[in-house]
Amino acid sequence: MAVTIGLLDRPEQGRVEAHNGAMRTVLVVEDERDIREVLRRYLEREGLAVLTAANGAEALRHIEQTRPDLILLDLGLPDIDGAEILATSAPRIPVIVLTARSALEDRIDGLRMGADDYIVKPFSPTEVVLRVQAVLSRGGQHRESEDDVRSFGKGMLVIDEARHEVTFACEPLRLTPHEWSLLVSLASTPGRVFSRHELVERIAGYTFEGYERAVDSHVKNVRHKLGPEGRQVIETVVGFGYRLGLTADG
């Protein structure tokens, strides 16, 4: 599988660093050596540390031992279905899928499983780098301060953006990156109705045809994790979208 490389295909966007200024690490999981090497060169040019894996077993070892900041994941691996790695990694680590599976339903399925982005082969290395930077930047915009901790419904729901933690009824919630972005977006203005289109922009940072259908799936998943009160926490406004049904404390 070839990647698309042109004379102007050179990333120019600024480097992305961790909160403490340390270099961010990207794990490239791809069985085709040429693609791995092209991505490695482009990512390293932007100041990112790069690990590579040619199969699923190598990828799982890197994930367990190194805990990268982001995974670029080919779904068509020779030993393990990439979807299995996505399912186990997405709740903890941002994942961008690289795949030849271009059907709309495949893309929606990947995003439903927790992928932060979905890139179809053949692709431009520049596009990959820009999307990596966008995902890393979305995860690194928090400042560690008391302002990052907000509570709703008299302490029923607590969101700590700096620590990337959510508790509901004093119990921690394990959310995928997309579920986290959905809840934080709704909590940014309690009571305000957000359209599906707005939520797509906030969750993924871009839009493509059909993704608005996946927003409903993310809402369903978060409600399930919230338990019996899920529909009261995330309210449906028929014909318009969704809103947070709890009021902000303080």
Q: What is the pLDDT of residues 30-42, one digit of tens each?
A: 999 999 999 999 9
Q: Is residue 36 part of a domain?
A: yes
The pLDDT value given to residue 105? 74
CB-CB contact of 113 with 151 (8 Å): no
Domain span at 158: 146-244
Strand pairing category for 165-168 and 157-160: antiparallel
The pLDDT value given to residue 49? 92
The residue written with tokens 């990439």 in the block is 82
Q: Taking the model in full, what pTM does it have?
A: 0.53
Grade residue 222 by pLDDT with cuts at 50, 70 and 90.
very high
Phi (first) and psi of residue 47, to 5 degrees: 85, 15
- pLDDT tens for each residue of 86-123: 888 876 789 999 888 767 777 777 777 788 888 888 88
Q: Is residue 16 part of a domain?
A: no
Average pLDDT, the chain: 81
30 dihedral zone (left: phi>0; alpha: psi -120 to 50; beta):
beta
Given a cut of 60, is residue 18 above it in pLDDT? no
Assess whether 133 and 151 both reside in one domain: no
Assess whether 82 and 114 both reside in one domain: yes
Mean pLDDT of the 205-219 span: 69
